[in-house]
Amino acid sequence: MNVHPAYSFFEKHWNDPKHDIHCSAVLKACLGMIQDTDLNPEVFIVAAWIHDMGKLRDKENHHVESMHYLDLFMQEYPQFRGIYDTVKDCIIHHRTHGTPQILYGQIFQVADKVALENKEWKAFKKAQK
Ligand SMILES: [Fe+2]
Ligand SMILES: [Fe+2]
């Protein structure tokens, strides 16, 4: 199986089991929304695995701190530079009070909330209690 570079990056720098489930749920919600469109799934794959990594630096400000990891990712995998601005809109504006400027960011912001209803996520949360 081919592992996406964004997932390799997530595994290498964080590999947190809780966020493995959360980010995967966010990604699935995005991919569900863009079915039968020409929207670029690569944007959501990169945004999903990186959007919460800023929690490693500062949880409160993690949407901004995650940009540090997006920049690192782009250094490691320059082939993704063409989608940098689009992924940035998704990451910076993903939180409740964010104001995404483009459809990609709007989809991503909703997906981050839909992910809370993901069945695997809910089972994980339940098992933690
Ligand atoms: Fe977040
Ligand atoms: Fe998130």
Q: CB within 8 A of 50, min separation 6: which ones?
A: 6, 9, 10, 66, 69, 70, 73, 87, 91
The sign one gets for the Cα dihedral 1, 88, 114, 123 is positive
Report pLDDT digits (tens) over 63-80.
999 999 999 999 999 999
pLDDT at position 98 over 70: yes
Confirm if 51 and 23 have CB atoms less than 8 A apart. Answer: yes
Query: Is residue 83 classed as helix, strand or coil in its secondary structure?
Result: helix
pLDDT at position 4 is 98
Torsion angle (degrees, nearest 10) of CA 4, 48, 26, 40: -70
> What is the distance in A from the centroid of ligand 2 to the CA of 21?
10
pLDDT at position 110 over 70: yes
> What is the distance in A from the centroid of ligand 2 to the CA of 36?
25
Ligand in closest contact with the CA of 47: 2
pLDDT at position 8 over 70: yes
The pTM of the full predicted model, rounded to 2 decimals, is 0.97
What's the pLDDT band for 129 if we cut at 50, 70, 90? confident
Class of domain 17-128: mainly alpha
> What is the distance in A from the centroid of ligand 1 to the CA of 90?
11
**What is the tally of helices (H) and strands (E) in the chain?**
7, 0
> What is the distance in A from the centroid of ligand 2 to the CA of 123?
17
> What is the distance in A from the centroid of ligand 1 to the CA of 20?
13
Average pLDDT score over residue span 82-106: 98
pLDDT at position 1 is 65
Structure tokens at 35: 């079915």
Hey, where are the domains in the chain? 17-128
> What is the distance in A from the centroid of ligand 2 to the CA of 91?
9
Ligand in closest contact with the CA of 48: 2
